[in-house]
Structure 1
Amino acid sequence: LETHFLTGGDVVRVSRALVAAAKAGIELPFERAAAIDLAGRDVLDAVKTSVNPKVIDCPNPETGKLTIDAVAKDGIQLKAKARVTVRVNIDALIGGASEETIIARVGEGIVTTIGSAQTYKDVLENPDNISKRVLEKGLDAGTAFEILSIDIADIDVGSNIGAKLQADQAEADLRRFQAEAEQRRAAARAREQEMLAEVQENRAKVVLAEAEIPQAIAQSFRDGNLGIMDYYKLRNLQADTDMRKSLGDQTKPGKTNE
């Protein structure tokens, strides 16, 4: 006891733990009790929990989270609360994981079990299946506790997560399609402008070509390839063509003779 006191141990709690263990029929040597105390664990509370199992709320309300949320395969969210009954494993108390590990593992098991259910109705009809499957995983391995039971205290139906995800996906697809349509419209407008520019360019080429006709006629006169009668015939043909064009324009719908 003197050595334990000098090393910073709590002699009173160790002594009370030894007395409580002896009365409860729990084998607890002084060396182990002293080691547990020096490791920073409450050895007296450990003995009491070995005699009277402790109930742990999952999730821990002190963290601000009141339920464990999980989604079944049909997209419906379920909110569950569990109560885990544990007993301290004194042999694994030194170096064993704490209550937080138990809570985290149980929460993970509940989420996995609900997530593997085909519909949320299957979970509501048989909530005890969650406890059975979670217990089968051996979640107390490597911890300072032995899980005696896992009870689902409450389970409620949350929102339709699947429908929300589908709605968000549909909205995202709509924005993507609108962007693609706008891109195609912009490309069409650019192509239209290119075609208009090409038409103007071709018209300019026609005007330039027509401007060279008088020069070609004059050159034909000089070379003797075109006579005066041929020139008159060409002029008559042009006049006849202009007259036909004028008559055709007057007979179009919306045109009136002046």
Structure 2
Amino acid sequence: MLGIIGPIFFMLLFIIGISVFLHFVPLGLWISAIAAGVRVGIVTLVGMRLRRVPPAKIVLPLIKANKAGLDVTVNQLEAHYLAGGNVDRVVDALIAAHRAEIPLPFQRAAAIDLAGRDVLEAVQMSVNPKVIETPIVAAVAKNGIELKVKARVTVRANIDRLVGGAGEATVLARVGEGIITTVGSSVDHKDVLANPDHISKTVLAKGLDAGTAFEILSIDIADIDVGRNIGAELMTDQAEAEKRIAQAKAEERRAMAVANEQEMKAYTQEMQAKVVEAQAEVPHALSIALREGRIGVMDYYNMNNITADTQMRETISKSGPAVANPSTESKEPRR
């Protein structure tokens, strides 16, 4: 029994040792690299295992790059992997750039990838430009008519400005600003409708791609719609506001007139009260004057006659001219 257990134990140890050796020494990748003509030492592969770098993610892209004729080393790929980059995507971008004859060194491709941009998509966009459609941009011409413009911007990735360059949102914002400026400087909206290419030429001449990660190839106006008459609406609103101001001022003047009228009525009533009070004192003053002999009886009668004559004249003036009584008119005798 003991004689059987010993060989089995040594066989298990041998199997475990072979498994550990094959884990740290990927012979399959080493043989594949040699077959592809890529020089990768066993020590290098073991070092990748110790540095916790999957050898397959380094060796396979290295083989791909070598077959494409690129000068890429193991240390470059491993350093990019340890920095958190996508090695396979960088190698694919380098191969695509090499095929399209676009100058793209490994350092720049790695920097673009580490910056968070898709370097392969950027290379593909350099070969095949991308069309970006702007949202509807509302602009108002000088005659007050609103125009709703939609444009298509054809851009190509600028490899040299991918690191630190602005993205698509900046390009769209600048194009929208250029459309608003161009339409706003037009005297009549009909000029814009007749020559929509004027917008494209004006906006394209402004150099809107400065500081961005793209190169603007063309700006094409896709659609123009006539919107509201903003000028007329503003004039209507202004007229309505002026009307309300005038009504408020008129109401203020009316209130002041009513207040003045009430004040005058109160003043008139006060004066009438004083007149009545003064008239009430007249008989008493006359009696005192008669008693003291300052006026005579005839003077008093003359004053009453004058007063009666004045009242009669006032009555006649109020009643108007006398109308002749038709009964008193003379009639002609019959013949």
1:183 aligns with 2:252: yes
Provide the secondary structure at the position in 2 that maps to 1:110: helix
Gaps of 5+ in 1: 60-66, 254-258
Number of matched residues?
A: 246
Superposition map of 1:1-258 within 5 A: 1-59=77-135, 67-246=136-315
Give the letter aligned to residue 191 of structure 2. Answer: D
Please, which moves more after superposition, 152-161 or 43-52?
152-161
How far apart are the structure 2 equivalents of 1:83 and 1:250?
92
1:213-233 Cα offsets, whole Å, 9 max, x none, are 123223323443212322232
Provide the secondary structure at the position in 1 that maps to 2:208: coil
Give the letter aligned to residue 98 of structure 2. Answer: A
Give the letter aligned to residue 271 of structure 2. Answer: N
How far apart are the structure 2 equivalents of 1:252 and 1:8?
119
Provide the secondary structure at the position in 2 that maps to 1:150: strand
Gaps of 5+ in 2: 1-76, 323-335
Provide the secondary structure at the position in 1 that maps to 2:95: helix
1:3-39 Cα offsets, whole Å, 9 max, x none, are 2111211111111111111111111111111111111
How far apart are the structure 2 equivalents of 1:245 and 1:11?
121
Give the letter aligned to residue 219 of structure 2. Answer: I
Give the letter aligned to residue 234 of structure 2. Answer: L
Structure with higher RCO (Cα < 8 A, 6+ apart):
1
How far apart are the structure 1 equivalents of 2:84 and 2:211?
27
Change (3 A) 1:251 1:53: closer
- Shift, 1:144, TM fit: 0.6
Change (3 A) 1:116 1:215: same
Please, which moves more after superposition, 200-209 or 183-192?
183-192
1:22-77 Cα offsets, whole Å, 9 max, x none, are 11111111111111111111111111111111111112xxxxxxx11111111111
Provide the secondary structure at the position in 2 that maps to 1:212: helix
Please, which moves more after superposition, 169-178 or 205-214?
169-178
**Structure with the greater alpha carbon radius of gyration:** 2
Give the letter aligned to residue 106 of structure 2. Answer: F
Give the letter aligned to residue 3 of structure 1. Answer: A
Identify the residue that residue 256 of structure 1 maps to in structure 2. Answer: none
How far apart are the structure 2 equivalents of 1:110 and 1:246?
86
- Shift, 1:94, TM fit: 0.9
How far apart are the structure 1 equivalents of 2:118 and 2:278?
107
How far apart are the structure 1 equivalents of 2:112 and 2:240?
59
